């Protein structure tokens, strides 16, 4: 029976891991896989997380199930972190929420929740979007279409084209938005854009669905979600999927949260039963460890302050790498405008070079990136900036 299924090709981005590992060039640079790395190229455990781990080790007294909601302190903490402690939807009890196995788990349960609302709903994603959005959502039985988003010529959001598409949507449509630090382009919606999207959602009746995986790695914890909070304050219903992989460094702990904002408390209580039922059918209970760590950090004043400073330092370093890369590119005199690099936010950027040039960067200079030319800015360090820029000069002519 198993012979009916063929061997699938390797994931192209994950395949770069093996190529990079086997490369013997001492100057090799990995700009492919989207994890934060420090100046030494290491994805270290945050000091605040290490301290939370010790606290948890000393206080945990049971390994019993934590229940379908997850760690309650984690769920409540994430609600406040994303929407604000005094958010009307939070204080009114309009948010149904569960802990999930990473942001992927939140996205998948959200997709099944949408399918349960109406199996004929269409989910609209940005062009381009994070590659895993498509299989996560489509495998729940939903149709996916894309709306214009990125202007490759300028490296910015093409909001007018995006708005033209949104103006054609209706109540059977869901619009997936990146909360901040757009993956893969780094081109973010402005606060004015969020205001206009909110107006469109209310006019057209489509359901906003926000994926936020990089809060704190752009302009700051509150500034990064200013638009998301505006949206929440001004629409009746929305969905939010969050991840703690990047801003807490909990990649392998698979720690995420799904929030469903309802029109009133009674509906939220009903939606709580729905998302818990979907979680039960998917994975039964979330892994507790990451949720306990985040709960500990968010509700310990000293640890929270330390975490916020560590996160701010990470964001500052990424901005400095953007500025440093642009400076080195300009010094090379490349006949292409790369100024968008410093306008974009978070860990990712599109360099705007073609697949053949990407191939040359890999084969001739051992600089690894996605075929789309998406690069992980956090994979750079101050020592390799000149090498990367000089290599770009050689492939760009």
Q: How many CB atoms lie within 10 A of CB 151?
A: 16
* Predicted local distance difference test score (pLDDT) of residue 1: 94
- Measured CA to CA, the distance from residue 203 to residue 198 in angstroms comes to 9
* Predicted local distance difference test score (pLDDT) of residue 234: 98
* Predicted local distance difference test score (pLDDT) of residue 181: 98
pLDDT in tens, 37-55: 999 999 999 999 999 999 9
* Predicted local distance difference test score (pLDDT) of residue 133: 97
What's the rounded mean pLDDT across residues 98-120? Answer: 98
Which tokens go with 243? 């991840």
- Measured CA to CA, the distance from residue 190 to residue 251 in angstroms comes to 28
Q: Label each residue of the chain as H, E or C.
A: CHHHCCCCCCCHHHHHHHHHHHCCCCCCEECCCCCCCCCCCCCCCCHHHHHHHHHHHHHCCCCCCCCCCCCHHHHHHHHHHHHCCCCHHHHCCCEEEEEEEHHHHHHHHHHHHHHHHCCCCEEEEEECCCCCHHHHHHCCCCEEEEEECEECCCCEECHHHHHHHHCCCCCCEEEEEECCCCCCCCCCCCHHHHHHHHHHHHHHCCEEEEEECCCCCCCCCCHHHHHHHHHHHHCCCEEEEEECCCCCCCHHHCEEEEEEECCCHHHHHHHHHHHHHHHHHHCCCCCCHHHHHHHHHHCCHHHHHHHHHHHHHHHHHHHHHHHHHHHHHHHHCCCCCCCHHHHCCCCEEECCCCHHHHHHHHHHHCEECCCCCEEEHHHCCCCCHHHHHHHHHHHHC
Across the chain, mean pLDDT equals: 96
Who has greater pLDDT, 336 or 192? 192
pLDDT in tens, 302-330: 999 999 999 999 999 999 999 999 999 99
* Predicted local distance difference test score (pLDDT) of residue 16: 84
pLDDT band at 33 (very low <50, low <70, confident <90, very high): confident
**Please, what are the domains in the chain?**
2-46+308-396 (3.90.1150.10), 65-299 (3.40.640.10)
Pair 392, 353: CB distance under 8 Å? yes
Give the Å distances, CA to CA, from 54 to 57, 292, 303: 5, 11, 12
- Catalytic residue IDs: 130, 211, 246
- Neighbour-count burial of 57, counting CB atoms closer than 10 A to its CB (0-12 exposed, 13-18 middle, 19+ buried): exposed
Per-residue pLDDT at 232 exceeds 90: yes
pLDDT band at 18 (very low <50, low <70, confident <90, very high): confident
* Predicted local distance difference test score (pLDDT) of residue 376: 96
* Predicted local distance difference test score (pLDDT) of residue 267: 98
Per-residue pLDDT at 166 exceeds 80: yes
* Predicted local distance difference test score (pLDDT) of residue 150: 97
* Predicted local distance difference test score (pLDDT) of residue 55: 97
Residues for the chain: how many in total? 397
* Predicted local distance difference test score (pLDDT) of residue 12: 78
Question: 128 preceded by cis ω (within 30°)?
Answer: yes
pLDDT in tens, 256-304: 999 999 999 999 999 999 999 999 999 999 999 999 999 999 999 999 9
Per-residue pLDDT at 14 exceeds 80: no
* Predicted local distance difference test score (pLDDT) of residue 387: 97
Helix axes 355-365, 385-396, angle to 10 degrees: 130
Percent of the chain residues past pLDDT 90, beyond the cut? 94
Which tokens go with 95? 């948010």
């Amino acid at each position: 029976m198993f012979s009916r299924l063929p061997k699938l090709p390797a994931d192209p981005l994950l395949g770069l891991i093996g190529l990079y590992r086997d490369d013997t060039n001492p100057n090799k640079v990995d700009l492919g896989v989207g994890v934060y790395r420090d100046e030494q190229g290491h994805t270290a455990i945050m000091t605040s997380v290490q301290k939370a781990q010790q606290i948890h080790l000393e206080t945990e007294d049971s390994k019993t199930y934590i229940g379908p909601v997850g760690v309650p302190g984690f769920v409540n903490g994430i609600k406040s972190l994303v929407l604000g402690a005094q958010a009307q939807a939070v204080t009114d009890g309009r948010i149904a929420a569960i802990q999930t196995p990473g942001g992927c788990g939140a996205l998948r349960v959200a997709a099944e929740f949408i399918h349960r609302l109406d199996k004929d709903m269409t989910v609209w994603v940005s062009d381009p979007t994070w590659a895993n959005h498509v299989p996560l959502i489509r495998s729940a039985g939903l149709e996916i279409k894309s709306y214009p988003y990125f202007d490759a010529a300028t490296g910015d959001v093409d909001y007018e084209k995006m708005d033209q598409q949104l103006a054609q949507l209706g109540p059977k449509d869901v619009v997936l938005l990146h909360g901040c630090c757009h993956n893969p382009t780094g081109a973010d919606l402005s606060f004015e854009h969020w205001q206009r999207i909110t107006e469109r959602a209310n006019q057209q009746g489509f359901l906003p669905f926000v994926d936020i995986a990089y809060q704190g790695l752009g302009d700051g914890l509150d500034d990064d979600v200013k638009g998301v909070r505006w949206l929440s304050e001004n629409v009746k219903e929305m969905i939010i999927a969050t991840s703690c992989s990047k801003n807490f460094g909990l990649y392998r702990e698979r720690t995420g949260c799904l929030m469903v904002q309802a029109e009133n408390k009674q509906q939220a209580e009903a939606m709580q039963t729905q998302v818990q039922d979907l979680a039960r059918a998917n994975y039964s209970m979330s892994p507790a460890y990451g949720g306990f760590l985040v709960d500990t950090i968010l509700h310990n004043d000293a640890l929270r302050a330390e975490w916020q400073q560590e996160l701010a330092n990470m964001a500052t370093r990424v901005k400095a790498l953007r500025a440093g890369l642009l400076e080195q590119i300009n010094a090379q005199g490349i006949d292409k405008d790369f100024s968008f690099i410093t306008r974009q936010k978070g860990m990712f950027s599109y360099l705007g070079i073609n697949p053949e040039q990407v191939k040359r960067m890999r084969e001739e200079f051992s600089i690894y990136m996605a075929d789309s030319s998406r690069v992980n800015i956090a994979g750079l360090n101050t020592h390799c900036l000149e090498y990367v820029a000089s290599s770009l000069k050689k492939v760009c002519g």
